[in-house]
Amino acid sequence: MTPLQQISRPAQPFALRRVADRMLSRLKTTGIISVLVLVVFAFFAVANSRFTNSNNLINILNQSSYLMIVSLGQGLVLISGGFDLAVAALLGLTSVVSATLMIALAANGVDLPLAIAISVACGLSVGLILGMVNGVAVAYLNVPSFIVTLGIAGIAAGAGYQISGGAPVTGLPEDFIAVFGTPDLRSISTSVYIAVLFAVALHLTMTRTRAGRYIYAVGGNPVAARLSGINVRRHIVLVFITSGMLASLAGILLSARVSTGDTNLGGNFVLQSITAGVLGGISLRGGEGTLFGAALGALFIAVLSNGMNLENISSYYQMIILGGLLVLAVLAEQLRLLISGRR
């Protein structure tokens, strides 16, 4: 929106406007989310002595890594101006597909490393294919991403239940768990290294490459992007494929951690990943924010829920708090736009 279009909004006292402006404009950058992480961390460190226990800190890292991977994909979609409501369902379907396949292959005498490789590849292709369907529908058929991904989420969940018969798939090979999860629950899991790797790589992609620039432009103003010679559709498809594959990757890693293939493994990840992105400074209107912010947002949510678990706050309350956080973060963004737009 433009300064001139905003002038009809109600007035605010000037001094308050300046102060609020300065505070809220930081929301845009990763400044505020970094502060939030530190504040929540400090709060629980003081409130509960078990919180800073090294086992618990490793636990937080392990827990946050899955959401972080999903949030990177979600953040990418948000920046391009869309939503991906299918991430949790894709994660669950991937988990079921790769677990079922792995057990079946191993039982039929296929070499174990080969069985694992095939199942992981098939798992990732779930995200690839369904992500591509999302992207093509959004880019070429002009269907709102909200609707497409909601439909694909339904399809993926149904397929997951059908394949698994509605029950968790157990009996995954130990080798798989050791490589993709952790040898024991007290050490840092593979998923943490992978999450950090992708956070750095994708952040660099978004800030340092043409593709990143173009995705920001596509999210900010698709018409201007097209007139600048950018292949808008291809970048939208690319973004949804990336988001789908990252969800699948998280599904494989999470299956290894819990030694189970489960359709419900994605749990609350749609809400959580969007919240992570918005808390991290990504605008729901597209074209603004960073993936580094989204990763920090995921870390924030992990710290918060870990702390709340230690304080024995029920998971129902935690959902309420998380939903409230998303609404607050969006409100704060609106407030920032309102105020800075009036300058």
Partner 1 sequence: MMAGGFQRSAPVPDPCPGALLEACDIEKSFPGVRVLDGVSLDVRAGEVHVLFGENGAGKSTLVNIILGNYAPEGGTVRFDGKVLPAGSPRAARDAGISVVFQELSLIPTLSACANIFLGREKRQSALLDEGAMSREAAAIFARLGIAIDPQAPVAGLSRAEQQMVEIAKALQNDPRLLILDEPTTAFTDVETQRLFAIVAELKRLGVGIIYITHRMAEIQAIGDRISILRDGRRIATKLVSETDEDELIQLMTGRETLNVYPTIAFKPADEAIALEGASAASGRFQNVSISVRAGEIVGIAGLVGCGKSAVGRSLFGEERLAAGQVKLFGKSLRSPSPQSMLDAGVVYLPPDRRRQGLVLNRSVRENATLSCLNLRSFAFGQWLRKKSEDDAVQRVLNRLNLSPPLLDRNVSAYSGGNQQKVVFARAFLRETKVLIVDEPTVGVDVGARLEFYGILKQLCEAGAAILLISSDLPEILHLTHRTYVLAFGRQTAEFQQEEISEAAILSSFFAVGRKEGDIKTGAAA
- Judged by the rule CB under 8 A, the positions of this chain that interact with partner 1 are 1-5, 7-8, 10-14, 208-211, 213-214, 216-217, 220-221, 223-231, 283, 285, 287-288, 341-343
Say if residues 251 and 123 touch (Cβ distance below 8 Å): yes
CB of 284 to partner 1, least distance (A): 12
CB of 147 to partner 1, least distance (A): 20
Rg of the chain over Cα atoms, rounded to whole angstroms, equals 21
CB of 138 to partner 1, least distance (A): 19
Tokens (6 digits) for 161: 């239940």
CB of 15 to partner 1, least distance (A): 9
DSSP at 184: S
* Identity of the residue, 224 or 331, whose beta carbon is nearer to partner 1 in the bound complex: 224
CB of 187 to partner 1, least distance (A): 36
* Identity of the residue, 68 or 217, whose beta carbon is nearer to partner 1 in the bound complex: 217
Cα dihedral sign, 337-40-280-22: positive
* Identity of the residue, 4 or 141, whose beta carbon is nearer to partner 1 in the bound complex: 4
CB of 52 to partner 1, least distance (A): 39
Say if residues 288 and 266 touch (Cβ distance below 8 Å): no
SS (H, E, C) 18-37: HHHHHHHHHHHCCHHHHHHH
* Identity of the residue, 13 or 109, whose beta carbon is nearer to partner 1 in the bound complex: 13
* Identity of the residue, 257 or 336, whose beta carbon is nearer to partner 1 in the bound complex: 336
* Identity of the residue, 221 or 318, whose beta carbon is nearer to partner 1 in the bound complex: 221
* Identity of the residue, 10 or 109, whose beta carbon is nearer to partner 1 in the bound complex: 10
Write down the residue that tokens 């992105």 correspond to. Answer: 277
CB atoms within 10 A of CB 6: 15
Name 260's bridge partners: 170
**Phi-psi sector, 281: left (phi>0), alpha (psi -120 to 50), beta:** left
Selection from 97, 63, 112 nearest residue 318 by Cα: 63
Selection from 25, 105, 68 nearest residue 247 by Cα: 68
Phi, psi of 246 (to 5 degrees): -65, -40
CB of 191 to partner 1, least distance (A): 27
In angstroms, how far is CA 147 from the centroid of its own chain?
18
Tokens (6 digits) for 120: 């992981």
